[in-house]
């Protein structure tokens, strides 16, 4: 999938601080809501091809960081770079076109539509449905021009996630776990390079969680760069090569699972709650 796309990016104009192995770089991101500073000068890099974890107590600013990185919320300050190119301030759909896609903590599929429609529907008729527009912008062209190829990719995704039998089922009838599979399938419809996943296992039973994890490991092995927010420390520790720890709006520390696990600051942050 993305190796050619990544290769072609090697020759694009780069910012001075660029490192070739960095897929996503965030510098000094900041965002307040009224009196609450949700994200307070967050900086980190996500290595190309890595499966990186983002953890931290409730309210640490993880989801808001995803919102800022993916253009769903405007930042007060800071920059975001994708493969060395400054993409700060771009809209979600523009970022999807550049290979960055995210899923939400609470799935946002269209409840009244079938699984297949959720994967293929053209967003131009969805005025106001910003999330769909942003998740499936690549389809705007393809649905009209290459409808068959969109359907074919949707079938591929349903097959990959073993939800073909649910193709004609309305999304509202899916279990929590099936919705998470659908969310991941939708994200992959646009063939991204970098996937930001916000608690993809929340509300998923252990069997399906293991299946989802297997998918993520396989996607990562296939070359996708994945940044994963997950509250279950063990899942992060067992699967991520690098872990970012957020606390009160900024990165408290980062390192390998072992380094992070034994870090006093991390233990204190979790024991102390998010206050």
Ligand X SMILES: Nc1ncnc2c1ncn2[C@@H]1O[C@H](COP(=O)(O)OP(=O)(O)O)[C@@H](O)[C@H]1O
Residues in contact with ligand X by the rule CB under 6 A: 33, 36, 38, 56, 58-64
Nearer to ligand X, 126 or 274 (CB): 274
Nearer to ligand X, 113 or 233 (CB): 233
Q: Distance between CA atoms of 173 and 15, rounded to whole angstroms?
A: 47
Mutual angle of helices 176-189 and 206-221, in 10-degree steps: 10
Q: Distance between CA atoms of 14 and 83, rounded to whole angstroms?
A: 8
Q: How far is the CB of 102 from ligand X (least distance, A)?
A: 13
Task: Tell me which of Mg ion, ligand X, none is bound by residue 17, counting a contact when its beta carbon lies within the kind-specific cut-off of 5 to 8 angstroms.
Answer: none
Task: Tell me which of Mg ion, ligand X, none is bound by residue 60, counting a contact when its beta carbon lies within the kind-specific cut-off of 5 to 8 angstroms.
Answer: ligand X
Q: How far is the CB of 201 from Mg ion (least distance, A)?
A: 13
H-helix segments, the chain: 3-9, 62-69, 92-97, 115-120, 130-135, 138-145, 147-160, 176-189, 206-221, 233-239, 257-261, 264-272
The token pair at 3 is 């190796």
CB atoms within 10 A of CB 97: 15
Work out whether the CA dihedral 190, 192, 197, 201 comes out positive or negative. positive
Q: Which residue stretch of 59-67, 154-162, 168-176, 177-185 sits at the interface with Mg ion (rule: CB under 5 A)?
A: 59-67
Considering only 6, 63, 65, 178, the residue that binds Mg ion (CB under 5 A) is 63
| 70 is a site residue for Mg ion (CB under 5 A) | no
Residues near Mg ion (CB under 5 A), total? 3
| 103 is a site residue for Mg ion (CB under 5 A) | no
Nearer to ligand X, 53 or 123 (CB): 53
Q: How far is the CB of 160 from ligand X (least distance, A)?
A: 28
Bridge partners of residue 80, in order along the sequence: 26
Task: Tell me which of ligand X, Mg ion, none is bound by residue 138, counting a contact when its beta carbon lies within the kind-specific cut-off of 5 to 8 angstroms.
Answer: none
Q: How far is CA 82 from the centre of its chain?
A: 13
Q: Do 103 and 85 touch, CB atoms closer than 8 A?
A: no
Q: Which residue stretch of 102-110, 171-179, 210-218, 236-244 sits at the interface with Mg ion (rule: CB under 5 A)?
A: 102-110
Task: Tell me which of Mg ion, ligand X, none is bound by residue 81, counting a contact when its beta carbon lies within the kind-specific cut-off of 5 to 8 angstroms.
Answer: none
Q: How far is the CB of 112 from Mg ion (least distance, A)?
A: 26
Q: What burial class does residue 19 get, using C-beta atoms within 10 Å of its C-beta: 0-12 exposed, 13-18 middle, 19+ buried?
A: exposed
Q: Distance between CA atoms of 92 and 131, rounded to whole angstroms?
A: 8
Q: How far is the CB of 33 from ligand X (least distance, A)?
A: 3
Mutual angle of helices 147-160 and 176-189, in 10-degree steps: 140
Q: Do 231 and 204 touch, CB atoms closer than 8 A?
A: no
Nearer to ligand X, 16 or 273 (CB): 273
Nearer to Mg ion, 106 or 144 (CB): 106
Task: Tell me which of ligand X, Mg ion, none is bound by residue 36, counting a contact when its beta carbon lies within the kind-specific cut-off of 5 to 8 angstroms.
Answer: ligand X
Q: Which residues bind Mg ion (CB under 5 A)?
A: 62-63, 105
């Amino acid at each position: 999938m993305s190796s050619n796309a990544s290769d072609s990016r090697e020759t694009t104009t780069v910012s001075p601080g660029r490192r070739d192995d960095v897929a996503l770089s965030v510098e000094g991101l900041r965002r307040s809501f009224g009196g609450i500073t949700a994200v307070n000068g967050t900086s980190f890099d996500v290595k190309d091809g890595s499966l990186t974890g983002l953890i931290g107590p409730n309210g640490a600013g993880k989801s808001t960081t995803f919102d800022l990185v993916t253009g769903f919320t405007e930042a007060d300050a800071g920059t975001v770079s994708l493969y060395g190119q400054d993409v700060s301030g771009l809209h979600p759909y523009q970022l999807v076109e550049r290979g960055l896609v995210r899923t939400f903590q609470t799935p946002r599929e269209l409840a009244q539509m079938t699984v297949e429609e959720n994967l293929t529907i053209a967003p131009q008729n969805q005025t106001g449905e910003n999330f769909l527009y942003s998740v499936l912008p690549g389809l705007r062209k393809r649905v009209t021009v290459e409808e068959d190829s969109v359907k074919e990719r949707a079938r591929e995704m349903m097959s990959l996630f073993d939800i073909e039998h649910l193709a004609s089922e309305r999304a509202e009838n899916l279990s929590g776990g099936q919705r998470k599979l659908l969310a991941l399938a939708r994200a992959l419809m646009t063939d991204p390079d970098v996937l930001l996943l916000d608690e993809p296992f929340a509300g998923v039973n252990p069997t399906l969680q293991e299946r989802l994890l297997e998918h993520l490991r396989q996607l990562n092995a296939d070359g996708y760069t994945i940044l994963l927010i997950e509250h279950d420390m063990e899942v992060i520790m067992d699967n991520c090569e690098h872990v970012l720890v957020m606390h009160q709006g900024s990165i408290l520390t980062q390192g390998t699972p072992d380094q992070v696990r034994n870090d006093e600051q991390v233990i204190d942050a979790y024991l102390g709650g998010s206050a």
